[in-house]
Amino acid sequence: MLNTPETNDKPRNARLEARVSSDQKDFFQRAATLTGRTLSELVIDSTQEAAARIVQEHEVIRLSREEQVAFVSALLAPSEPGARLKKAVQSYRQKAGL
């Protein structure tokens, strides 16, 4: 089981229910038995691992070497703003009273 803030010694006072077919439940129970866990433990552990993977995939940006170089280059030597951006800044400053 993953050790995340969501699993650190917090009381289990929320309930989660799901409807599954009898075949699915039997299959999940078989997997739980094979791993020496209860059905609830298997479902909770598996769901926690899947959720952690999904969150990481959406929060971590992975770049190829070429993309890394382009990103760092853009940070170190940004291009000059174009005419449209300069006009937008000027418009914003006028509206904001800056």
Residue type present at position 82: G
pLDDT band (50, 70, 90) for residue 6: low
In the predicted structure, residue 4 carries a pLDDT above the cut 70: no
Kindly state the average pLDDT of the residues 26-31. Answer: 98
Q: What percent of the chain has pLDDT over 70?
A: 91
CA atoms 49, 50, 55, 57: torsion sign: positive
The separation between CA 29 and the C-alpha centre of its own chain, rounded to angstroms, equals 28
Closest CA to 2 of 38, 77, 53: 53
8 A C-beta contact, residue 54 and residue 48: no
- Residue the block writes with tokens 């229910």: 17
Q: What is the pTM (predicted TM-score) of this model?
A: 0.57
Kindly state the average pLDDT of the residues 65-92. Answer: 95
In the predicted structure, residue 50 carries a pLDDT above the cut 80: yes
* Distance in angstroms (rounded) separating the CA atoms of residues 8 and 98: 49
What value does the mean pLDDT of the chain take?
91
In the predicted structure, residue 29 carries a pLDDT above the cut 50: yes
